[in-house]
Amino acid sequence: MFALAGAGVTLLVSARDNYARSRAKRTKRWYAERKEAYVALMTEFERATYRLRAAYDGDQPAPSPFAYLDAVGPALMQVRLLASGQVRSAALAVHLLIESLYAERPTPPPGVNPEKSVREMLGHVPLVMQQFEAAVREELEIKATPPAPLVDGPRRGWRRKTEESRVTG
């Protein structure tokens, strides 16, 4: 009877451990998938902004809006599928701003020089990107400060004394 109970307990414990391991793997994969998607989208946004700045600084026409959509489309779709509502909204805000800059000539507000308007809109891209980055940091719980170092407590002092005695002794 005790052997049967022991086998049952062993089976339950191994099933619980397997579940915990698979849950940990899923959690790691969840973070990895989202982080990869967010980095890919941020990279595409930065490239698109750089292309626009280079075109306007060189007094050349802006690249085609279709080139922008082809480049950013896959990364944006992945973020739209994986991200939370806050991150998705922030990503779409950046996308819409950049997409409006890729239009033939963005329409400025009345009474504003068209060239100055485009430069101002380009200046807003990093600000909107910053909101996207903040939403990503919040979702992935990324902290700006490094984690505190592990301290062994009383044993740490003992190790240091032992190492010092070996060096001096």
For 43-67, what is the mean pLDDT?
86
- Would you say residue 163 has pLDDT above 70? no
Q: What is the pLDDT of residues 81-119, one digit of tens each?
A: 888 889 999 999 999 888 888 876 656 656 666 666 777
Nearest to 128 by CA among 95, 100, 103: 95
Backbone φ, ψ for residue 62 (5° rounding)? -65, 150
Distance CA 93, CA 125 (A): 10
Most confident region among 44-48, 80-84, 136-140, 152-156 by mean pLDDT: 44-48
pLDDT of amino acid 42? 92
Which range is least confidently modeled, 31-35, 101-105, 154-158?
A: 154-158
104 vs 50: which has the higher pLDDT: 50
